[in-house]
Chains A and B, each alone.
Chain A
Amino acid sequence: MSVRAIVLSGYGFNSDPELAEAFRMAGAAPVRLHLSDLLADPALLSGASIVALPGGFSFGDHLGSAQVVANLLRTRLAAALSEHHARGGLTLGICNGFQALVKSGFLPWPESGERSVTLVHNESGRFVDDWVRVSFDATGACAWTRGLSPRELPVRHGEGRFVARDAAVLERLEREGLVALRYEGRNPNGSTGGIAGLRDPSGRVIGLMPHPEAFLAPENHPGRRRGFDGGTGLAFFENSVKAAAAAL
């Protein structure tokens, strides 16, 4: 039985095709699902092992990045998403999807739903497209990042600067080990503590600014002619599919 991965699309999300392709390459059966279809029938989540929110500019980020989708997650999809989580499903948000997960309160503590961290405009005030080195929580606590060696991934965002509401939140994140990805060396957006991605305490929910789904072939890497450390972004998806398959 194959792992079913729902990749949301529509309303200005734009990285859903390559995210679906990443899951396909990792061995899952991806389905792109328009958010309007899901709003019409939230039960559509019930057959999925993985729910993924892609990058993009949902609703233009006009009211703040992922602001509208975050509100929809809180007001219209909270029950379906919680049920998916409680069932042992995996949840992923990349870039705009990460912004949606934190702004809806689904990360870092899905059970409380409290909004305690967010992503704001880059310190430079500018959109940035570059490749950055990130390290992962490789311990095994996170289903998505276990065993991953540091590697370079593309980032491309205008609002990726991670901030916590206060020092206590930050301290708790670190204490509970919820920082799943950290920028190494260069911090492209001024994120507090170089935080590039967060997981929830179960290790099944993750959100991150870098784009592993844009690094599915070694040739995507800017050092393709010189060789480079670490693998592609595919390992990240293979991890999740393995974890989801084990739970089937």
Chain B
Amino acid sequence: MRIETSYLDPALDGRAASLSASASVRLGFPVRVVLVDAILVDRPLPSGPCVDAFVDPVVQVAEVDAWAAERPALAGWSTLIEVAWRPGVTDTLALTAREALEFALGRDAVGGVRFSTARQFLVYGELGPEGREGLAASLHNPLVQTAMVLDAAEWAAGARPPTAHAAPGVHDPAEPAWFDLAGMDDAALERLSAERTLALSRGELAAIRAHYADPETRRRREGAGLPPLASDVELEMLAQTWSEHCKHKIFNADIECRAPEGSRTIRSLFKTCIRATTEALAPSKPFLRSVFTDNAGVVVFHPGQALCVKAETHNSPSALDPYGGAITGIVGVNRDVLGTGMGAKPIFNTDVLCFAPPDTPDDEVPEGLIAPRDVLAGVHRGIVDGGNQSGIPTVAGAFLFDESWLGKPLVFCGTGGVMPEFLDGKPSWEKEIRPGDLAVMLGGRVGKDGIHGATFSSQALDESSPVGAVQIGDPIIQKRMTDFLLEARDAGLYRFVTDNGAGGLSSSLGEMARECGGVRVDLDACPLKYPGLSPWEILVSESQERMSLAVPPESLAAFMSLAALRGVEASVVGEFLDSGLVELRANGGKAVGLLPLDFLHDGLPVLSLKADLRLDSRAAEPVPARADWTEALLGILAEPNVASKECWIRQYDHEVQARSIEKPMVGIRRDAPGDGAVLRADLGNFKGYTVTHGICPRYAEDDASRMAACAVDEAYRAHVALGGDPERAALLDNFCWPDPVESEAVPDGAAKLGALVRACEGLSEACLAYGLPLVSGKDSMKNDARAGGRTISSRPTLLVTLAGAIDDIRKASSTDFLEAGELVYLLGATPGALGGSMLERIDGAARRARNVAGPRYGRAPVPDFAAAKALYATVHKGISGRMLRSCHDLSDGGLAVALAESCLGGRLGIVARVDGLPGLDPGAPDYAARALFAEDPSRFVVSVRRVDRERFETTFAAHPFRLLGVLEDGPRFEIRRGGEALVSTTLDALESAFKTPLAGGGRR
């Protein structure tokens, strides 16, 4: 049975209008597209209730076992493209269709019925064979979808889309496979690892072989009725648990460093640079509650409410399926805070997205990779759907563009959640498991989706990457699960919760078992999406929207009945023990695995790596002199990294939950960029949180340590610019690195690891100097793609996310200038660093187009921590005392860009003077370039009322500042030095450069 829905008047379908526009752009000639939605049911159901369930009769019409394509109103199409999900891929519409008919017909009536959906595109206008192919390719991702293309002649000859879809063809052996590791040499073990995508190293494989050879292991296995051989279930569990993704082996490695000042060895970057930093700060930061141990960091900025923050990356899945990868990234990180402590409610999302330039020509995109504009559109749509449908506002983020992200995009998804500081008198961030508690899996069913996500993300992308690594998240299933979980939390129905992310049950239950000393997992009890999964697949599947819980036996009945009432699936899949073991059972309760917890978690050998910390010594080039810098400023404003992203940001819901104070787009016309977000902590008072970011990957070309220090400074100064309390802020660190392990495939691994060491040390130094504890983080270490015979590696990239406190949101500041007549000052010193600047980037564009490296304008910027810290304290006073009328931090593009943005925000003109900028040598030959575009950190453009001039200059007397000019009504935007106009333009010209379209906005 097939039910099709189409619009009576196709002109009312906005989706089709937007699709027609983007298809016309892609094809280069105008076409019109009409959408038809189809629901396929594998046996007949009463058609009345089906039509009622699926159709809005005011504007739509249904065809039951008939074709909308044959409706007279839709006649004249030339091509029909029908896109459907591949068998086994989550079809969220079909799940809802089933539920709608369960409501209408009763649960029993649709019990065994299988639903699937398809979307049809009727295209009007001649496409030609190439256009057909191209359009079909743009409408589906062959990894997860199929597309059927028919032309009108084929239709006339009787060709039709299917009226039923195949069931997932899963024929995996139910019996586990057993491997005699003792009989395998290193080469055979490595083959086994490669064949099964285990991503285990030679040393790790040897440790596993030794474990099975241990007489103690043999004795224990015999007692449990297991052979001395290793089962595939055990190997998969070890591989997931020992993956780079889960164990952060590189961050915990012994690293032999070759440095300019001599050699040294670092034992664990995580312990020495990350954890030690927070430990050193902990005594002076009483707001810290739980750091590094749980799924997210927990702080208490405002008494009574705990804030959990976390950021993740979802790069590899987004490279394969941009939409599915991004949506899964969002809902995945939301589960992190939901699974922190006793469970927190997400209150904001952030996203920082790094792509290759969207105008990258198709012939420069290697075979096997998706064109950057399509990656951007897909990821963006995933974030729109993932965040909006979850009811979580997307409050802050960034879009960055660089050629190095052609191989893998970087998709940083962050989130914050709140929970009461105390639940039933107990700290909400603490949780426990007792032996005898039941292991409960909550949420969606288990399928083949996402199998090997953790091991796969720990590898470079190539043609043989497993299809199963892609999952499609469903924000609604997760939203329903979230509501239920918070209700069950408040009713005290469970003792422990964590999320099911990478590695699936293998990781979540494996980790939980450490709390009480063991677990028995009954894989038979896991509800499946379709039959035929092997036990190991059930264990490691990354099917989405699942949490793992420990429920005390006495609460189980209440827990299960509430779940059933709320329509959330919950299953008891095991029991927690104190045996010191993970016991795995399947196929009618047979033992299929037995792993001691200490071996599972601590049995892996520590990596030994080599790092080269010496800096690249490429010489600096002089900045070419220009008589007029107007073009350079307009060029930077139009550059995709700086240009307006409003068309994309407006598609994010940033108002839901009613907390929004400082929004992503600000100013009198709401089209200028802000510095970050301010949101209310609680609708009942005026306390709030700030959320900001720092990310400066271009500086790593000079020195990753400066990149890290500047990223910390950027996030921190934005927090200060918004009015945040300088003493109360916490950071997340997210490293995305190219493979830093030297090998035949990665000959420069030592230099990349050297950059990682420098970045960690720079991060630590900045955090200690500013008093900013790191509370959680994540690293992604294989951001390389090998495609079309080349390797494309991401720039070493550190994202710093800051969550901070603001005591009174009524005093939050913003970037836009308010009134003519007010004075504009630059705060902070300008030593004049141009290395890695936007000026360097636009000046290098022509060379990069010829595949030649662009110029280097000297060293990257570096913060003066002591001076900056003192300045920030004073700026905070200025904002909370309402003396500063606006405050914008200087970042990409330096002073000229920040001034332009603040003027645009207020639609106010200025004639600014940049003579005698503090810190800048007045005799420098390239003074103008440095004054306008240097990206020295720790600086602000602020405005004050004329009457406050004396008060301002007294308050800031101890800090470098310079009066730039007076705001005026009118269109002039000029920057002068002495008698010379360096920049002379108008607000309209700034606006039109800033609003240069990047890629036409995201397509739906």
Q: Residues of A with Cβ closer than 8 Å to B?
A: 9-12, 14-15, 17-18, 21, 34, 36-37, 40, 55-57, 59-64, 67-68, 71-72, 75-76, 103, 115-118, 120-131, 154, 156, 158, 161, 163-165, 190, 211, 213-217, 219-220, 222-226
Contact = CB atoms under 8 A, between A and B. Distances in A.
Nearest to A58: B476
Contacts of A67: 53-54, 56, 100
Interface of B: 12-19, 52-60, 92-93, 95-97, 99-100, 103-104, 384, 388-391, 474-476, 479-480, 483, 565-567, 650-658, 660-661, 663, 666, 668, 670, 680, 683-684, 686, 809-810, 812, 814, 818, 885-886, 1001-1002, 1004
Q: Which 8 A-B pairs have the closest CB atoms?
A: A14-B391, A125-B18, A121-B14, A60-B476, A18-B658, A62-B96, A118-B58, A125-B14
A89 B689 CA distance: 39
Contacts of B657: 15, 17-18, 214
Given A21-B658, A120-B12, A11 B651 contact: no
Nearest to B1004: A125
Nearest to A127: B651
Nearest to A25: B683
A9 B885 CA distance: 41
A195 B92 CA distance: 32
A226 B668 contact: yes
A222 B663 contact: yes
Contacts of B390: 14
Given A67-B56, A127-B651, A129-B651, A222 B666 contact: yes
Contacts of B384: 127
Given A10-B483, A128-B650, A62 B97 contact: yes
Contact of A63 (B97, B670, B809): B97
Contacts of A17: 657
A61 B96 CA distance: 9
A122 B388 CA distance: 15
A227 to B, nearest CB: 10
8 contacts: A12-B476, A17-B657, A36-B567, A57-B389, A63-B100, A129-B652, A163-B58, A219-B810
Contacts of A62: 92-93, 95-97, 476
Contacts of A40: 565
A123 B15 CA distance: 8
Given A71-B103, A129-B653, 18 more contacts: A12-B391, A12-B479, A57-B388, A63-B53, A68-B96, A71-B100, A103-B56, A115-B56, A118-B56, A118-B59, A124-B14, A125-B17, A125-B1004, A156-B655, A220-B661, A222-B663, A223-B668, A225-B814
A95 B656 CA distance: 12
A49 to B, nearest CB: 22
Contact of B53 (A71, A125, A126, A226): A71
Contacts of A190: 14
Contacts of B103: 68, 71-72, 75-76
B660 A214 contact: yes
Contacts of B99: 59, 68
A57 B480 CA distance: 11
A12 B389 contact: yes
B479 A14 contact: yes
A60 B389 contact: yes
B696 to A, nearest CB: 28
B723 to A, nearest CB: 11
Interface centre among A61, A63, A123 (most CB of B within 10 A): A63
A57 B52 contact: no
Contacts of A214: 655-658, 660
A130 B59 contact: no
Contacts of B52: 71
A59 B59 CA distance: 20
Contact of B670 (A34, A118, A130, A215): A130
B391 A123 contact: no
Contacts of A63: 53-54, 93, 96-97, 100
Given A36-B565, A60-B96, A60-B389, A75 B104 contact: yes
Contacts of A165: 58-59
Residue of B55, B391, B814 with highest tally of chain A CB at under 10 A? B391
A121 B670 contact: no
A116 to B, nearest CB: 7
A167 to B, nearest CB: 13
A55 B389 CA distance: 10
B683 to A, nearest CB: 5
A217 B96 contact: no
Given A68-B103, A225-B814, A220 B660 contact: yes
B276 to A, nearest CB: 39
Given A18-B683, A57-B389, A125 B15 contact: yes
A61 B54 CA distance: 11
A219 B58 contact: no
B100 A123 contact: no
Contact of B566 (A36, A72, A126, A213): A36
A236 to B, nearest CB: 14
A37 to B, nearest CB: 7
A65 to B, nearest CB: 9
Contacts of A128: 650-651
Contacts of B93: 60, 62-63
A225 to B, nearest CB: 6
Contacts of B686: 219
Contact of B658 (A115, A123, A220, A226): A220
A37 B16 CA distance: 38
Contacts of A220: 655, 658, 660-661
A10 B96 contact: no
Contact of A120 (B14, B97, B391): B14
Nearest to B816: A225
Which of the listed residues A15, A122, A217 has the most CB atoms from chain B within 10 Å of its own CB?
A: A217
A126 B92 contact: no
Given A10-B480, A12-B389, A214-B658, A126 B567 contact: no
Contacts of B474: 60
A15 B391 contact: yes
A30 B1001 CA distance: 40
Contacts of A154: 655
A13 to B, nearest CB: 8
B655 A9 contact: no
Contacts of B812: 219
Nearest to A160: B14
A80 B55 CA distance: 24
Contacts of B566: 10, 34, 36
A9 to B, nearest CB: 7
Contacts of B16: 125
Nearest to A12: B476
Contacts of A103: 56, 58
A213 B660 CA distance: 12
A127 B18 contact: no
Nearest to A75: B104
Contacts of B818: 225-226
Contact of A215 (B13, B14, B658): B658
Contacts of A59: 96, 99-100, 476
A121 B58 contact: no
A16 B483 CA distance: 11
Given A120-B13, A219-B661, A126 B100 contact: no
B809 to A, nearest CB: 6
B485 to A, nearest CB: 13
A115 B57 contact: yes
Given A103-B56, A190-B14, A129 B668 contact: no
Contacts of B661: 219-220, 224
A93 to B, nearest CB: 16
Given A62-B93, A63-B100, A120 B59 contact: yes
B90 to A, nearest CB: 12
A9 B384 CA distance: 22
